């Protein structure tokens, strides 16, 4: 959830036991769980309010969609997954059109 693995959680629990004592750790864990539950409820209600106010076009809105990093990541991945456009076919040379690097004719009398 927070990018914490099992080893990190064990170290945090061990430090909590030493700092707060074994009799207070269960109460602190209970309070932390209640706080996380309230935060999740608050985030869900904010998302639902946004969906309701924005209308049916945004029914699939998620709060993480509003994160600028997610927006950039989404568009970069979409651009990378698009099929490559085929290379342009070589065009036939038309009369009066110069090839790249070709010097145009110069008429001394015309100027």
DSSP 86-111: PPPPPPPPPTT-PPTTPPPP--GGG-
Residue, of 61 and 2, whose pLDDT is higher? 61
Residue-range domain boundaries for the chain = 1-79
Torsion of CA 46, 56, 64, 80, to 10 degrees: -170
pLDDT in tens, 22-74: 888 889 889 989 999 999 999 889 888 888 888 888 777 777 777 888 888 88
**What pLDDT score does 31 carry?**
93
Percent of the chain with pLDDT over 90: 12
State what percent of residues in the chain have pLDDT above 70: 86
Q: How confident is the model at residue 87 (pLDDT cuts 50, 70, 90)?
A: low
pLDDT top residue among 111 and 26: 26
> What residues contact 17, with CB distance under 8 A and at least 6 apart?
25
> For 101-111, what is the mean pLDDT?
79
């Amino acid at each position: 959830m927070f990018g914490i693995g099992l080893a990190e959680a064990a170290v945090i629990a061990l430090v909590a036991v030493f700092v707060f004592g074994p009799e207070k750790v269960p109460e602190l864990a209970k309070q932390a769980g209640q706080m996380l539950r309230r935060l999740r409820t608050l985030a869900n209600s904010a998302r639902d309010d946004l969906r309701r106010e924005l209308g049916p076009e945004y029914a699939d809105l998620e709060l993480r969609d509003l994160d600028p990093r997610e927006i950039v990541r989404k568009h970069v991945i979409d651009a990378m997954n698009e099929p490559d456009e085929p290379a342009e076919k070589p065009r036939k040379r038309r009369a009066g059109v110069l090839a790249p690097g070709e010097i145009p004719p110069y008429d001394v009398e015309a100027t």
